[in-house]
A and B are shown apart, each in its own frame.
Chain A
Amino acid sequence: MSDNKKWYSLDLGLNNKKESSGTCGCGKTEGSCNSSPKEEELSADEFYEAAINASIGEERHRDGFEQVFDVKMDRRSAFKKLTASLLIGAGAVTTSCSVTTGSDTKEKAQIDWEEQFKGNYKLMTDEEKQGTINRLMRSYELRTHKKINMTAENAAEDVLFGYAFNISKCQGYMNCVSACVEENNQDRNSEMQYIRIHEMKDGEGFKFNKADDNYYHEVPAEGHFYMGTQCFHCDNPPCVEVCPVQATWKEEDGLVVIDYDWCVGCRYCMAACPYDGRRFNWSKPEVPEQEVNKNQHYLGNRMRKKGVMEKCTFCVQRTRKGKNPACVEACPTGARIFGNLLDPDSTIRWVLENKKVFRLKEDLGTEPKFWYFMD
């Protein structure tokens, strides 16, 4: 990012094709938008640098468990843990007091204790990440006698995920919504849904305030068109800025994620999100055991608890394994396109370069990585 910008803009590495794709938010000439204008193609490493600088800037240098958290960990003596727990940590006690017998109970209590006082996932080393997912898997096994498979893959290099939505194609079937609910183990009681499909009247344009996002009639309804919203994984996400405990952050592949165990449930991020992207667990989320999706990722669809924030993660458990998000796969009309923005051969890049794309509320400077277009 060049220094003399007055506002934030998304650096996709689309340097050469900015005009045609219309995705550059900076509105400046080609050259000044570029992090290193002389080169036609950035080398992988340089791009990686530039993308990260653009996204987290200085903060990166302070990141990592060693740099920030270890220091704090030293001071986090057992005594302090104990005090904190006595003051406010009733949770661990209640959960570890469940009545079963023998060593299982002890192990469960041990896991609960360690889980209650583990650090922020964002700042963990890979071993620590592995440690916590092992504990979570074991804990699930102890509780339900069923096994789950949880991973903690980190972001791959040279990947920046983006999404495009074809308004002409969407017919409002909502297969994406139900696929998302099943894939991501969302609370069935409150019928939590990350995706909202807005039904709008033809000829009125994008009148969101007149749209119906909760319809139960047959679709496509005569004289209507449809568009979906969800978390847009903003490149400059206001929700991340405001979180008092860094429980939510942007990963290097552009996904905005939440550590459900670190969130304190203040809902400040919810107030800060201009796109209605976040969902809160107002009560204990429940998923019938046989419906639980057992392929989980720590930052994605693992089971949540009550009182914490969650939202669309672009199905991190699938996309980091090279698959498409569940909504993309489920859509019968092909209205949803997902891919790596840094891969010049990807479909999403083709769409950005060849279609007239736009984003919602661009004036807010949030730089969503979610584009709309029409055939």
Chain B
Amino acid sequence: MGTFKVFKSLVIDSLDTITKGSKRYHLWMGFLTLVMLIGMYCYSIQLEEGLSATGMSDRVSWGLYISNFTFLVGVAAAAVMLVMPTYVLKDLDFKQAVLIGEGLAVAALIMCLAFVVADMGEPSVLWHMIPGIGVFNFPNSMLTWDVIVLNGYLFINISIPFYILFKHYQNKEAKKSVYVPGAILSVFWAVGIHLVTAFLYQGLQARPFWNNALLGPRFLASAFAAGPSLIILILAIIRSFTAFKIEDKTIKKIAMIVTVAAQINLIMLISELFKEFYAPTHHSESAYYLFFGLHGKNALLPWIWTAIPLNVLATVLLTFNKLRNNLKVLYFCCFILFVAIWIEKGFGLIVPGFIPGPYGKIVEYLPTGVEIGVTIGIWALGAFVFTILAKTAIGIELGELYYKDKNTST
């Protein structure tokens, strides 16, 4: 009963915090709400007309939604790069960053699930996918694995921070014996979600562009570059807008992670390019399409040729200690790296898988306005969720938010 009362008070208090704030905060939330509403409107059009409202077709049957889904799984998985040092290696530096990281993971996962639902042709029978009431094609279908690991990861990433914050809210210390095993589990789990998501594509013999043993490891490397980049940017914003203190040291340590991951990612990219272009086979056609266009069809060229230079530039800049330790340069690098990987692991990965088609037919894909609207709406949803989570967490950590027991008699 006592716990319940504390919980109720926490809910009320956090509602209080998230509805109050500076003018800027209200503007931000209002803006996000507006974007979300536009996204919902676009989604209602899609529900009404069917997926023909999107740019997808029988020839390119996955597009912007699945691209974003894939990328965001990586972002979610990357939160673990902060969890590990803090909880497991007892590196106190990361302590503040970690709650933010896990909040980010939760927001990213919610976006992932939203993208998957948005991509479904028949969302009204989605219950067919719920184990127990539907029919779950486990273990044959990698998609069922993905459903399990994503939801499991969501659960872990909600429960650990919640436990810690709940204790801090009552001004108690969180018990290590409770959250450390959870944290260790989430480390393995994070690698799992990303590998399983890669296997989703890697396991299709029909699509040579994906059916490639390097896909999984490359997913991990790029995720551990893009995710922490985003975390650095967010920490920078939080640092300048709230009283929450984040040391330079923390940011620099995360920057180290980004750098190593970006370097590994670049090596793998070179390996992939070598394989595709040194001795090109029929199976290299997708890569040709992506990088050079095929038979005059070249819709992806501007994208990939933005991504590759940005990726190389960021990696090179980050490699030099002097430049990396300059926060302005670091933020810039993180930003371009994030954009580069979003293109590469989203659009640049999903769309060429379908081009050329099974019989060599080239039909290009361009997202429609509706599709873009839904996508931006879901990103706004993610930002909205994250802002709420972060604001509450920061409130509790700063001690602004604590449990005021009205009948403290003993």
Hey, what's the 0/1 contact readout for B33-65 against A, CB within 8 Å counting as 1? 000000000000000011110001110011000
**A327 → B minimal CB distance (Å):** 18
> Does B127 sit within 8 A of A, measured CB to CB?
yes
Which residue of B58, B143, B201, B359 contacts A280 across the interface (Cβ within 8 Å)?
B58
Judge whether B128 and A262 touch: CB under 8 Å.
yes
Judge whether B133 and A84 touch: CB under 8 Å.
yes
Judge whether B120 and A264 touch: CB under 8 Å.
yes
Instruction: Determine the chain B residues whose CB is within 8 A of the CB of A75 once the complex forms.
Output: 132-133
Q: Which of A196-245 contact B (CB under 8 A)?
A: 196, 198, 207-211, 213, 229, 238, 241-245
Hey, what's the 0/1 contact readout for A232-264 against B, CB within 8 Å counting as 1? 000000100111111100000000000001111
**B-to-A contact residues, CB < 8 Å:** 49-52, 56-58, 61-62, 116, 119-130, 132-137, 140-144, 147, 200-201, 203-207, 285, 353-354, 356-361
Q: A198-B359, A280-B58 are in contact. Are A272 and B50 (CB under 8 A)?
A: no
Instruction: Determine the chain B residues whose CB is within 8 A of the CB of A274 once the complex forms.
Output: 205-206, 358
Judge whether B124 and A276 touch: CB under 8 Å.
no
**A336 → B minimal CB distance (Å):** 19
**B62 → A minimal CB distance (Å):** 6
**A27 → B minimal CB distance (Å):** 18
Instruction: Determine the chain B residues whose CB is within 8 A of the CB of A76 once the complex forms.
Output: 133
Q: Which 7 A-B pairs have the closest CB atoms?
A: A265-B121, A209-B360, A307-B121, A91-B124, A274-B206, A282-B52, A283-B52
Which residue of B57, B129, B206 contacts A245 across the interface (Cβ within 8 Å)?
B129
Judge whether B207 and A271 touch: CB under 8 Å.
yes
Q: Which of B130, B147, B353 has the most CB of A within 10 A?
A: B130
Judge whether A245 and B121 touch: CB under 8 Å.
no
Judge whether B128 and A88 touch: CB under 8 Å.
no
**B235 → A minimal CB distance (Å):** 35
Instruction: Give Cα A238–Cα B125 distance, bound, in whole angstroms.
Output: 23
Given contacts A276-B58, A281-B50, A308-B121, 5 further A-B contacts (CB under 8 A): A229-B359, A242-B140, A245-B128, A271-B353, A272-B204
**B266 → A minimal CB distance (Å):** 28
Instruction: Determine the chain B residues whose CB is within 8 A of the CB of A242 once the complex forms.
Output: 140-143, 203-204
Which residue of A211, A272, A284 contacts B359 across the interface (Cβ within 8 Å)?
A211
Judge whether B62 and A267 touch: CB under 8 Å.
yes
Q: Which of A157-209 contact B (CB under 8 A)?
A: 190, 196, 198, 207-209
Judge whether B137 and A244 touch: CB under 8 Å.
yes
Which residue of B135, B203, B206 contacts A246 across the interface (Cβ within 8 Å)?
B135
Judge whether A276 and B359 touch: CB under 8 Å.
yes
Chain B contact residues, majority secondary structure: loop
Judge whether A272 and B127 touch: CB under 8 Å.
no
Instruction: Determine the chain B residues whose CB is within 8 A of the CB of A88 once the complex forms.
Output: 123-127
Q: Which of A271-308 contact B (CB under 8 A)?
A: 271-276, 278-284, 305-308
Instruction: Determine the chain A residues whose CB is within 8 A of the CB of B201 once the complex forms.
Output: 271
**B126 → A minimal CB distance (Å):** 5
**B294 → A minimal CB distance (Å):** 9
Q: A190-B52, A274-B358, A283-B49 are in contact. Are A308 and B122 (CB under 8 A)?
A: yes
Which residue of B51, B135, B207, B359 contacts A307 across the interface (Cβ within 8 Å)?
B51
> Does A92 sit within 8 A of B, measured CB to CB?
yes
> Does A31 sit within 8 A of B, measured CB to CB?
no
**B257 → A minimal CB distance (Å):** 33
Instruction: Give Cα A91–Cα B121 distance, bound, in whole angstroms.
Output: 12
Instruction: Give Cα A207–Cα B49 distance, bound, in whole angstroms.
Output: 37
Judge whether A245 and B135 touch: CB under 8 Å.
yes
**A-to-B contact residues, CB < 8 Å:** 68-69, 72, 75-76, 80, 84-85, 87-92, 116, 119-120, 123, 190, 196, 198, 207-211, 213, 229, 238, 241-247, 261-268, 270-276, 278-284, 305-309, 364-366
Instruction: Determine the chain B residues whose CB is within 8 A of the CB of A238 once the complex forms.
Output: 204-206
Instruction: Determine the chain B residues whose CB is within 8 A of the CB of A92 once the complex forms.
Output: 124
Instruction: Give Cα A119–Cα B120 distance, bound, in whole angstroms.
Output: 19
Instruction: Determine the chain B residues whose CB is within 8 A of the CB of A89 once the complex forms.
Output: 124-125, 127
- A-B contacts, 8 of them at CB < 8 A, read A69-B135, A75-B133, A211-B359, A241-B141, A245-B129, A267-B121, A268-B143, A275-B206
Judge whether B136 and A244 touch: CB under 8 Å.
yes
Instruction: Determine the chain A residues whose CB is within 8 A of the CB of B52 once the complex forms.
Output: 190, 282-283
Q: Which of B125, B136, B206 has the most CB of A within 10 A?
A: B125
Q: A209-B356, A244-B129, A275-B358 are in contact. Are A266 and B135 (CB under 8 A)?
A: no
User: Looking across the interface, which residue of chain B has its beta carbon closest to that of A247?
Assistant: B128
Instruction: Give Cα A274–Cα B357 distance, bound, in whole angstroms.
Output: 9
Instruction: Determine the chain B residues whose CB is within 8 A of the CB of A244 once the complex forms.
Output: 129, 136-137, 141, 143-144, 147
Instruction: Determine the chain A residues whose CB is within 8 A of the CB of B132 once the complex forms.
Output: 72, 75
Instruction: Give Cα A241–Cα B51 distance, bound, in whole angstroms.
Output: 24
Instruction: Determine the chain B residues whose CB is within 8 A of the CB of A280 once the complex forms.
Output: 51, 58, 61, 121
Instruction: Give Cα A68–Cα B126 distance, bound, in whole angstroms.
Output: 19
Instruction: Give Cα A55–Cα B112 distance, bound, in whole angstroms.
Output: 35
**B150 → A minimal CB distance (Å):** 13
User: Looking across the interface, which residue of chain B has its beta carbon closest to that of A263?
Assistant: B122
Instruction: Give Cα A364–Cα B277 distance, bound, in whole angstroms.
Output: 23
Judge whether A271 and B122 touch: CB under 8 Å.
no
Instruction: Determine the chain A residues whose CB is within 8 A of the CB of B126 once the complex forms.
Output: 88, 264
Which residue of A84, A266, A275, A278 contacts B121 across the interface (Cβ within 8 Å)?
A266
Instruction: Determine the chain A residues whose CB is within 8 A of the CB of B123 once the complex forms.
Output: 88, 90, 264-265
Instruction: Determine the chain A residues whose CB is within 8 A of the CB of B360 once the complex forms.
Output: 207-211
User: Looking across the interface, which residue of chain A has its beta carbon closest to that of B354?
Assistant: A271
Which residue of A87, A120, A207, A365 contacts B135 across the interface (Cβ within 8 Å)?
A120
User: Looking across the interface, which residue of chain B has its beta carbon closest to that of A274?
Assistant: B206
**A261 → B minimal CB distance (Å):** 7
Judge whether B61 and A262 touch: CB under 8 Å.
no
